[in-house]
Amino acid sequence: MTLGDITAKLVADTKGFNASMDEVGKKVEKTATSSSGVASKIGDAFKKVGQASLVAVTAATTGLVALTTASVNAYGEYEQMVGGVGKLFGDSANEVISNSKRAYETAGLSANAYMETVTGFSARLLQGLGGDTKKAVEYADMAVRDMADNANIFGTNIQSIQNAYQGFAKQNFTMLDNLKLGYGGTATEMARLINDTGVMGESFKATAENVKNVPFDKYIEAIH
């Protein structure tokens, strides 16, 4: 039975109930004495119960259809995200999917939002890690958790933080100040962050010119 069949059956059954209540109301009115008017009011009440039931079930059914449609769309998006994760992470894809299912607890994100965030910067992350998908899973999860922590601590809209990370993956540092860590939105400031945290070691001095050559996982590590 399809959703349409269920909807039609619910409405049809309610119409039957409505008709029965209406019939009861008419019989009550017919047997009532015209002087009291009490039975007439009872008859009206039975009619209204039937009418109200039809309105209520129709509204509930409409809501059910909308909810089911939204669920189907969300599942379709989930399947699409899983496919993208599979292509990017290969044998490590299941770990990303597993992390996404816990994302509501760890980062306050839905599974779909988690995977969308991760896939948005995964190509650059994997490039910097030489294609090591296992490490990429760890850094990606670290990044998403840090995004959530940053939003909770500073009250920043997490979308702004996600946009900042997406920008870093494209070597665009203008949104570094979205993180409210005390660094401005420039390449010079990202270089300062890299140097302050020492994630590249003492032998490397980051500058506005060479910071774009720093692997994306080091950006994540420096922010962390």
pLDDT reported for residue 74: 53
Residues 97 and 210: their CA atoms lie apart, in Å, by 34
CA distances from 165 to 46, 89, 151, 154 (A): 62, 19, 13, 16
Pairwise pLDDT comparison (75 vs 119), residue with the higher score: 119
Q: Is the pLDDT of residue 8 over 70?
A: no
What share of the chain has pLDDT > 90, as a percent? 62
Q: Per-residue pLDDT tens for 58-113?
A: 555 555 444 455 454 556 777 888 988 999 999 999 999 999 999 999 999 999 99
8 Å CB contact between 19 and 41: no
Contacting residues for 57 by C-beta, under 8 A, at least 6 apart: 10, 11, 14
Residues 112 and 117: their CA atoms lie apart, in Å, by 9
pLDDT reported for residue 78: 79
pTM of the prediction? 0.67
Mean pLDDT of the chain: 81
